[in-house]
């Protein structure tokens, strides 16, 4: 790891804590170490006042002792930090990424290449100032994240490229990874003095590292698909439910304070601070957002004070959802988020910082995102028209809610619907529409289904209704529709269950044949310029 990595992994916090302890207990420390001197006279004891501490040290000739103690403390912290750095190592093999750390308690973590879900770069503000970056390798399963903290920024991008290349080769065979760094960057400029050019490049490179433009081999080879303008991001935050709720609460408290008691206004201050922090966090996480597509991965990057770059190999998306809050509707804005294995809710992984692949965008942006994350879903005009119809159209081909569903769905009855697209193909998807105040369209490849369920809660039974839910890995996208007529729900459930068994059975047979021949399973369709993704080798093993 980088020699400064212990500073960000706890050394800085240790210094801060030591400073706080000394600042708050310095009079007690003086009494502890110099009790004999203090007992000589009451005047000396009264000299240990906070304002007179430096004078007391100087008069007693304790400056050398204090500086020596501070030096010993600093040397102790530096020594511990050096040991932490010395024992923190990593390696990338043809099978896995491994890390080892710890002095007294050793920790060895291993992320198999075929199980890697995404490779992320995280740069908090202090890390950016020091030119450091943390690599986060997300794998399937609870607690499967492996972190390399911290590396130099350029080293981190090179290591990420190596991990992605080896993971792609592990899944799809040799030669399937991204192009090597030297093949893309090209030759150096000529005709200038070498020393001056090198110094200038170093200065520019250091500034570029801080602003985190993240121009590397994969970025040059990738195609930028979506960018979020700052004005649109600010408008989306101002029209979000958080901002609208805050305005309504402030107005209610101000009116109540004017009528009842002015002291009520002070009670809203903590809420204003919390909501302002939430909205500032949304702006920070959506600032300079870009979505690009490489040869074997899709990448999202965003951040103002701290940056986050997430690289997801194709075929790792389990479900995707486009959402449209009420106040975004006149502007035609949408938000897209996903569910991927490895970002478990128990770990706090499936949150707004790691599952949003489009903070705000127009319908055309949503269609590009859907086509990127679920390749082949928008290849022809008919499919694009079906997606537009599912987003904001009348939803032709969707099974709607039952005749008495208004008792359980209220105003959401008109939008609720479910459809199975491409039922006869291996790329079939389950699509669900719902929502009134916040519209949504959820899409899940049927091959990702863990199970399917038909439920009839008490009210649904009384109204002769049912709900259908498809389960996938834990995440924010919920594949469930309520209020279906019982007969229609049973027929849809049977068709969905049969499709799951057929598609996953064919996938399991293909993987079994590949393993029997002693080779890695090949994707059904090779990845091409349109972003067609390889299937997940371990998908069948994850299914019940």
Return the percentage of the chain with pLDDT > 70, whole number: 71
- For range 516-541, the mean pLDDT: 44
Given a cut of 90, is residue 438 above it in pLDDT?
A: yes
Given a cut of 60, is residue 260 above it in pLDDT?
A: yes
Lowest mean pLDDT among 208-212, 261-265, 424-428: 208-212
Q: Can you give the pLDDT at residue 373?
A: 85
Higher pLDDT, residue 202 or 520: 520
Which of 114-128, 333-347, 437-451 holds the top average pLDDT? 437-451
Given a cut of 60, is residue 539 above it in pLDDT?
A: no
- For range 370-381, the mean pLDDT: 76
Residue 145's φ and ψ, nearest 5 degrees, are: -80, 130
- For range 289-318, the mean pLDDT: 80
pLDDT in tens, 282-294: 888 888 888 888 7
Rounded Cα gap, residues 169 and 162, in angstroms: 11
Q: Is the distance from CB of 535 to CB of 524 less than 8 angstroms?
A: yes
Higher pLDDT, residue 218 or 106: 106
Q: What is the DSSP string of 123-170?
A: E-HHHHHHTEEEEEEEESSTT--EEEEEEEHHHHHHHHHHHHHHHHHH
pLDDT band at 346 (very low <50, low <70, confident <90, very high): very low
Name the residue among 371, 395, 373 with its Cα closest to residue 384.
Answer: 371
- For range 206-220, the mean pLDDT: 47
Higher pLDDT, residue 312 or 180: 312
Rounded Cα gap, residues 375 and 369, in angstroms: 10
Q: Can you give the pLDDT at residue 463?
A: 94
Lowest mean pLDDT among 88-102, 230-244, 368-382, 425-439: 368-382
pLDDT band at 509 (very low <50, low <70, confident <90, very high): confident
Higher pLDDT, residue 418 or 188: 418
- For range 40-57, the mean pLDDT: 53
Tokens for 255? Answer: 């009116």
Q: Can you give the pLDDT at residue 439?
A: 94
Question: Which residues does 19 contact at the CB level (< 8 Å), separation at least 6?
Answer: none
Name the residue among 379, 193, 221 with its Cα closest to residue 292.
Answer: 221
Name the residue among 365, 278, 283, 342 with its Cα closest to residue 138.
Answer: 342
Q: Can you give the pLDDT at residue 196?
A: 38
Given a cut of 50, is residue 538 above it in pLDDT?
A: no
If you average pLDDT over every residue of the chain, what do you get?
Answer: 77
- For range 465-485, the mean pLDDT: 93
Q: Is the distance from CB of 340 to CB of 312 less than 8 angstroms?
A: yes
Given a cut of 50, is residue 295 above it in pLDDT?
A: yes
Question: Which residues does 415 contact at the CB level (< 8 Å), separation at least 6?
Answer: 395, 433, 434, 435, 436, 439
Q: Can you give the pLDDT at residue 483?
A: 94
- Whole-number Cα distances in Å, 516 to 176, 286, 504: 22, 46, 18
Name the residue among 510, 519, 387 with its Cα closest to residue 441.
Answer: 387
* 67-92 exposure pattern, b = at least 16 Cβ within 10 A, e = fewer: eeeeeeeeeebeeebeebbeebebeb
Q: Can you give the pLDDT at residue 495?
A: 94
Which of 22-36, 228-242, 303-317, 527-541 holds the top average pLDDT? 228-242
Rounded Cα gap, residues 454 and 493, in angstroms: 7
Higher pLDDT, residue 113 or 66: 113
Q: Can you give the pLDDT at residue 446?
A: 92
pLDDT in tens, 69-80: 778 877 887 788
Lowest mean pLDDT among 302-306, 356-360, 426-430: 302-306
Q: Is the distance from CB of 471 to CB of 450 less than 8 angstroms?
A: yes
Given a cut of 70, is residue 202 above it in pLDDT?
A: no
Q: Can you give the pLDDT at residue 484?
A: 95
- For range 163-171, the mean pLDDT: 81
Name the residue among 347, 378, 432 with its Cα closest to residue 117.
Answer: 347
Whole-angstrom distance between the N-terminal and C-terminal Cα of the chain? 40
* Verdict on whether the full-model pTM lies above 0.85: no
Given a cut of 50, is residue 179 above it in pLDDT?
A: no
Q: Can you give the pLDDT at residue 192?
A: 36
Q: Can you give the pLDDT at residue 317?
A: 83
Q: Can you give the pLDDT at residue 425?
A: 82
């Amino acid at each position: 790891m980088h020699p400064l990595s212990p500073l960000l992994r706890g050394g800085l916090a240790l210094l801060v804590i030591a400073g706080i302890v000394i600042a708050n207990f310095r009079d007690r420390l003086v009494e502890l170490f110099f009790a004999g001197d203090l007992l000589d006279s009451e005047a000396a004891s009264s000299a240990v006042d906070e304002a007179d501490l430096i004078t007391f040290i100087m008069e007693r000739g304790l400056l050398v002792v204090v500086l020596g103690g501070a030096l010993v403390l600093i040397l102790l912290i530096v020594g511990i930090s050096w040991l932490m750095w010395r024992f923190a190592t990593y390696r990338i093999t043809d099978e896995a990424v491994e890390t080892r750390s710890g002095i007294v308690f050793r920790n060895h973590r291993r992320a198999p290449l075929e199980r890697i879900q995404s490779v992320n770069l995280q740069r908090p503000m202090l890390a950016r100032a020091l030119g450091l970056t943390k690599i986060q390798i997300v794998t399937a399963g609870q607690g499967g994240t492996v972190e390399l903290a911290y590396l130099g920024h350029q080293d981190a991008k090179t290591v990420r490229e190596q991990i992605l290349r080896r993971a792609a080769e592990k899944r799809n065979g040799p030669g399937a990874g991204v192009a090597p760094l030297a093949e893309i960057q090209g030759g150096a400029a000529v005709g200038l003095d070498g020393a001056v050019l090198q110094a200038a490049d170093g200065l520019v490179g250091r500034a570029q590292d801080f602003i985190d433009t993240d121009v590397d081999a994969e970025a040059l080879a990738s195609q930028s698909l979506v960018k979020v303008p700052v004005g649109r991001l600010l408008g989306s935050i101002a029209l979000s439910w958080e901002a609208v709720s805050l305005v309504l609460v402030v107005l209610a408290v101000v009116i109540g304070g004017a009528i009842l008691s002015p002291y009520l206004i002070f009670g809203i201050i903590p809420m204003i601070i919390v909501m302002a922090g939430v909205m500032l966090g949304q702006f920070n996480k959506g600032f300079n957002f870009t979505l690009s597509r490489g040869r074997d991965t899709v990448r999202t990057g965003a951040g103002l004070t701290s940056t986050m770059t997430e690289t997801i190999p194709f075929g790792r998306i389990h479900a995707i959802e486009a959402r449209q809050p009420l106040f975004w509707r006149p502007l035609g804005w949408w938000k897209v988020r996903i569910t991927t294995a490895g970002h478990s809710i128990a770990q706090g992984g499936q949150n707004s910082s790691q599952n949003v692949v489009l903070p705000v965008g127009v319908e055309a942006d949503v269609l590009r995102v859907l086509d990127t994350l679920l390749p082949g879903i928008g290849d022809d005009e008919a499919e694009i028209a079906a997606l537009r119809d599912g987003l904001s159209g009348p939803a032709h081909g969707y099974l709607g809610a039952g005749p008495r569903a208004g008792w359980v769905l209220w105003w959401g009855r008109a939008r609720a619907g479910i459809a199975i697209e491409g039922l006869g193909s291996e790329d079939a998807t389950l699509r669900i529409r719902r929502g009134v105040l916040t519209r949504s369209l959820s899409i899940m490849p049927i091959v990702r289904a863990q199970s399917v369920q038909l439920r009839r809660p008490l009210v649904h039974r009384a109204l002769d209704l049912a709900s259908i839910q498809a389960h996938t890995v834990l995440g924010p996208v919920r594949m469930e529709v309520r209020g279906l007529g019982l007969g229609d729900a049973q027929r849809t459930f049977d068709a969905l269950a049969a499709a799951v068994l057929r598609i996953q059975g064919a996938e399991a047979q293909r993987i079994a044949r590949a393993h029997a021949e002693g080779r890695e399973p090949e994707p059904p369709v090779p990845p091409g310029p349109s972003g067609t993704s390889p299937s997940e080798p371990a998908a069948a093993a994850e299914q019940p």
